[in-house]
Structure 1
């Protein structure tokens, strides 16, 4: 999965690999981050995603969720799982026993008590510091968290997507993606976007996608490659929001937007 941009024309190209294949994992530099929600994806998928990451981070209660997930894997998979590189957060949601366990394993423990930001936002800041210290340039960061449970926390995660963009928390060239169950979400900046849709996705009858304006009206959106395309439409809460859309079967989706919007899409085949 990658996004490339052309600054002169404000055009971005997004390549979503078939089922996040093992080959694609190895072709990019990325970090994986686990938030405080259960891990629901397929065991082999998670094993590949986790073990092939350049940096592995668990965030506060996400450490306990990750520990519980690993302890319930088959023994061989447990022994194959690499330890987190960093455990971070204000530590109000992690047990002392779990924190001590990972400390003994040699994980870097970074306490971030500042309450002006969420643990997710602070974890991105710590990741950026880690990458600078280790001279590591990431293509993207994949964050495991669920879009279910407390609505305020879901909105807080979306806020972090915007903070990462507006304040360059990861620098200017690193993408940030939220993976919730089998849905992948990221921000589309103002400009032109081309999203390549693998055959497995576009031929699946139950896939969906959405374009949602967050925080401001998107004055103009024009698309192709969707079942219900938009033609210079305004997206605004209280008016039109393009949820429960899907793909037309074309190999690519094009989106031209005047303001930042949240794009989400189903990635079939990665759930348990």
Structure 2
């Protein structure tokens, strides 16, 4: 049974994660407290095109920017401002233009993670954390939902996170979600995105489901609640999106 957690949001600097983590920063707003926690827990960071602007603009002085230099900025670079590109390049950040029109900037950055894994002959995949992708333009959000749905076939762990919520795809089968109630909740949802129908059984939610059909023409479990002190178990016959509210970080 796959077990999921959000230990990478733990503020404890001494926390040891079970595998390497990679951060992909998209071109959407985010706060410093969220970035700080994700930066602390990731060993490799990449900005997807205009995500470089977001990271740069988060700080008002270069002294602070230098503490958060990404390893790579990649995309078709139609959004990255020239002065931002120049600043990162002048401080040793690799800036790569990829004009492939059949892939989005997010897809190009995931490919960069895979290239890094191959170069390292990594025994374990990186856990990928996508900062952004669940807010803003609807077509961007749908792309995130669709792309992570596809990635479940090749990636073991991919999360999407904003200041409001976090989500990831649960493939068909049984899953345990270890809930950090100081970070997640109270609301959560199970979203049948990209499938015709699934049968859901849950434990640890305020309103549990028992072999219940879920689809866009019928029931969708939104605005459910986590139960304090309890973890969550989910059994699903097809891949679904799990999402949980993110509490304010300090």
TM exceeding 0.5: yes
Checking the alignment, whether the CA contact within 8 Å between 1:25 and 1:49 is kept in structure 2 is no
Residue 160 (1) aligns with residue 141 (2): no
- Decide whether aligned partners of structure 1 residues 255 and 232 sit closer, same or farther in structure 2, where only a CA change above 3 A counts: same
For residue 258 of structure 1, what is the aligned residue in structure 2?
237
Q: State which of 158, 169, 179 in structure 2 corresponds to 1:176.
A: 158
Q: State which of 100, 109, 129 in structure 1 corresponds to 2:115.
A: 129
Alignment coverage as a number of residue pairs:
248
Output the CA distance in 2 between the equivalents of 1:140 and 1:268.
22
Output the CA distance in 2 between the equivalents of 1:16 and 1:47.
15
Gaps of 5+ in 2: none
Q: State which of 14, 22, 26 in structure 1 corresponds to 2:12.
A: 22
- Decide whether aligned partners of structure 1 residues 25 and 146 sit closer, same or farther in structure 2, where only a CA change above 3 A counts: farther
The structural deviation recorded for 1:52 is 4.3
For residue 129 of structure 2, what is the aligned residue in structure 1?
142
Gaps of 5+ in 1: 1-10
- Decide whether aligned partners of structure 1 residues 41 and 78 sit closer, same or farther in structure 2, where only a CA change above 3 A counts: closer
Q: State which of 51, 62, 71 in structure 1 corresponds to 2:51.
A: 62
Checking the alignment, whether the CA contact within 8 Å between 1:146 and 1:181 is kept in structure 2 is no
Output the CA distance in 2 between the equivalents of 1:212 and 1:199.
21
Residue 71 (1) aligns with residue 57 (2): no
Checking the alignment, whether the CA contact within 8 Å between 1:19 and 1:267 is kept in structure 2 is no
The structural deviation recorded for 1:115 is 1.3
Deviates more, 1:140-149 or 1:257-266: 140-149
Output the CA distance in 2 between the equivalents of 1:63 and 1:99.
8
Output the CA distance in 1 between the equivalents of 2:240 and 2:142.
14
Checking the alignment, whether the CA contact within 8 Å between 1:34 and 1:63 is kept in structure 2 is yes
- Decide whether aligned partners of structure 1 residues 164 and 182 sit closer, same or farther in structure 2, where only a CA change above 3 A counts: same
Q: What's the Cα RMSD here?
A: 2.2
The structural deviation recorded for 1:69 is 0.8
Output the CA distance in 2 between the equivalents of 1:118 and 1:54.
23
- Decide whether aligned partners of structure 1 residues 155 and 131 sit closer, same or farther in structure 2, where only a CA change above 3 A counts: same
Output the CA distance in 2 between the equivalents of 1:52 and 1:253.
24
Partner of 1:208, secondary structure, is: strand
What is the TM-score with the length of structure 1 in the denominator?
Answer: 0.83
Partner of 1:57, secondary structure, is: strand
The structural deviation recorded for 1:138 is 4.0
Residue 237 (1) aligns with residue 216 (2): yes
Output the CA distance in 2 between the equivalents of 1:221 and 1:130.
37
